[in-house]
A and B are shown apart, each in its own frame.
Chain A
Amino acid sequence: MSDAKAREWIEAIHQLDLPSRVRVMNVCGGHERTLSMAGIRSVLPKNVEIIPGPGCPVCVCPEEDLYLAIQIALHRDATVMTFGDMLRVPTNVPKREVRTLEQARAAGARVVPIASPSEVWDAAMANPSERFVFFAAGFETTMAPVAARIAEGLPENVDLLISGRRTWPAVATLLAGDRAAFDGLIAPGHVAAVMGPEEWLFVPETHGIPSAVSGFRPDQLLSALYSVLRQLVEKTPVLENCYAHAVPAGGNAQARRLLDTVFEIVDAPWRGIGTLPESGYGLRPAYAARDARVLHADLADESRKRMGEMPAGCGCADVVLGRIYPTECALYGTTCVPRSPVGPCMVSDEGACRIWWAGGIRSPEDLRTLHA
């Protein structure tokens, strides 16, 4: 049923009279996964490019936050709990030192990968005499449930290391230059479901760039892509909500209220990219006594060489910003592969490099030869 719909959208896209080159950006690892796994690029007209953009919170998590989490695990009597993707992301420390949370765990530190924030609460309740640090990196979709749990009540033995980021400020940064990096935007369905689709109105209204909010099935992505391309042809840029059954106007008011209760909006660093205005979630002063950044400030080392940067030679920052495709990074598939990743984009399930690798793409050639 949805496959038949997908084929109809593909047909409709092929009927459009498109310019010679069209670049459409997506900003969600989930979208990129569907695009790659369903082979959507292989069925599109050759002049339509879909560029993976900032869609991976683990990939932009500041190197200094990860370094701090590792130091806490190594030097404090506490268990660091974090989403599984973070464990293998490398920091920029000399090879002989502990570079990842996984290595910290192997060295005897208590590091526990989790899939859901409730695991932190469960562990803390079950072990009231032990101390826990919840290291939470994520976009709005992750930070909303984190905020909800914190607002419900934070156990006495849990401290917080928050690296939450907002999606739209990164896109706003991409559009701030003279020349837009893309011609159309597929807006993230889950983020819009929480924050409301209105956050993305600036893309068509300020920048004149066609946009559509999309769901995650192949047919849903193709319908959003069709919307963006049709707007482009008709020169009528708007924000179309192609995922309306899941994305109501205004988003989820309750989730937004909880986010606002627990967090304040701060200027925040993105790894390898720099500080983006109003792009991060910081704990409100009421939680300062539980902020691991404050509690363990002595473990941070701001004199470290290459602090905050991507590993040497790693193109992750450019991949995250959609400036290059994963296959255009010199390390992709050479020194950087999933079993020994150099950059975070090859570690996280939401990283474009990891997704492209899982989808079997080894070179730009692969995309071309598969083309229908």
Chain B
Amino acid sequence: MHDAERITLAHGNGGRRTRELIDEIFATRLGGPDLDTEVDAARLRLPGDDWAVTVDGFTVEPIEFPGGDIGALAVHGTVNDLSVSGAEPVHLSVSAFLEEGLEFEVLVRLVDSFARAAKEAGVTVVAGDTKVVPRGHGGGAYFTTTGLGRIVRGDLSAKSVRPGDVILVSGPVGDHGIAVMLARESFDLRGDVRSDCASVLPLCKTVWDVPGLRFLRDPTRGGIATVAHELSRAARATVRLREAEIPVRDPVRGVCEMLGYDPYYLACEGRVVAVVAPDEADVVLERWRNADGGADARLIGRVDEGPARVVLETSIGGSRILDELEDDPLPRIC
């Protein structure tokens, strides 16, 4: 296989090259007792709990960006969807769409990164697939991951949110969106913005047992504004966010001001928004601040009686409506 340094269409032909690709690149890095590359379906023994399943596709461009890459993202995205659903991630499957011409060196970095992220989250890869698409038909590499998780806290839902509840975020918003954009565009902006791409499992796990916890969500595409809209719709209430309390890093704010973006609509890939009964907000904040990735956790808003809409209370004491995202400023960010 090492006679070629790039993915060729032959790696997708199902023959020797495909087998070598799977064995030498994927199985060596992702393999374990649960992964059998010789069978068509994995056989799992699952205890009799409730299980959560989720699937997510990843198409970020560029595939490597400051703070992460599509390999780590493909694990974190799915692990995070399980985590905010109150489920402990257990197994993953992965489907890789590789573009003809992708360098092996890059692919190895992506799969290594995938393996690290999976190990860190304690998930095992139990099934996989590879396909090769002709040059020009894919953005280097796309991944789809399916995650299976054991439900620990099953009642988290936007529907349980009620007026009086407060809204918390685990850290600064917009890092991922801006990091990817800066990595992609030829702006003369040299920011040291890194993606927040990370597993939020530790942050979620530490608050699953808080009785007043109503809802968790990772604010990816559409950012915290989109999560706020989901909440206001489900609770038929006004969501108020306080601009002065929402953590945004200075370089992110600077780029947003220059390009006219609203940081509240930008994607995060390693943050959590929680809605919690007001008397238990301090418990969640304290646990987050003591957990990995939660040092900058803040109470950023509340749910009020009133029409279903999202109001931003600005730092000068004014108000404006945060509408649902209209134009997507940044396609293909995850």
Contact = CB atoms under 8 A, between A and B. Distances in A.
Contact of B312 (A7, A39, A222, A366): A39
A196 B234 CA distance: 53
Contact of B260 (A3, A33, A39, A361): A33
Contacts of A295: none
A202 to B, nearest CB: 32
A3 B326 contact: no
Nearest to B185: A115
Interface string B292-334: 0000000000000000000111111111111100110000000
Contacts of A33: 260
Interface string A7-42: 100100000000000000000000001001111111
Interface string A201-220: 00000000000000000110
Contacts of A37: 262, 314, 320
A6 B326 contact: no
B316 A38 contact: yes
A7 B327 contact: no
A128 interface: no
A338 interface: yes
A299 interface: no
A214 B58 CA distance: 46
A35 to B, nearest CB: 9
B41 interface: no
Contact of A38 (B187, B314, B321, B327): B314
A349 interface: yes
A339 interface: yes
A6 B316 CA distance: 6
B244 interface: yes
Contacts of A7: 316-317
A359 B321 contact: yes
Interface string A352-371: 00000111111000100010
Main secondary structure, interface of A, reads helix
Nearest to A366: B321
A337 interface: yes
B320 A359 contact: yes
A74 to B, nearest CB: 26
Contacts of B315: 3, 38
A43 interface: yes
Contacts of A338: 326-327
B328 to A, nearest CB: 10
Contacts of B327: 338-339
A42 B326 contact: no
Interface in A102-143: 115
B253 to A, nearest CB: 12
A184 to B, nearest CB: 20
Contact of A36 (B316, B320, B326): B320
A278 to B, nearest CB: 31
Contact of A358 (B244, B262, B311, B313): B262
A357 B320 contact: no
A3 B318 contact: no
Contact of A337 (B187, B260, B313, B326): B326
B237 to A, nearest CB: 15
B326 A357 contact: yes
B8 to A, nearest CB: 32
A36 B314 CA distance: 10
- The CB with the most chain B CB atoms within 10 A, among A33, A39, A218, A372, is that of A39
B320 A39 contact: yes
Nearest to B225: A360
Nearest to B316: A6
Contacts of A222: 316
A43 B244 contact: no
B321 A43 contact: no
Contacts of B323: 357-358, 360, 362
B316 A43 contact: yes
Interface in B87-103: none
Given A33-B260, A339-B326, A42 B318 contact: yes
Interface string B226-261: 000000000000000000100000000000000010
Interface string B72-86: 000000000000000
A342 to B, nearest CB: 15
Given A3-B316, A7-B316, A39-B316, A361 B326 contact: no
A361 B326 CA distance: 13
B321 to A, nearest CB: 3
B316 A370 contact: no
A155 to B, nearest CB: 20
B321 A218 contact: no
Contact of A370 (B260, B262, B320, B326): B320
A40 B318 contact: yes
16 contacts: A3-B244, A3-B316, A6-B317, A10-B316, A33-B260, A36-B320, A38-B316, A38-B320, A40-B318, A42-B319, A218-B314, A337-B326, A338-B327, A339-B326, A358-B323, A366-B321
Leading 9 A-B pairs by shortest Cβ distance:
A39-B318, A360-B321, A6-B316, A39-B320, A39-B314, A360-B323, A42-B318, A43-B318, A370-B319
Interface of A: 3, 6-7, 10, 33, 36-43, 115, 218-219, 222, 337-339, 349, 357-362, 366, 370, 372
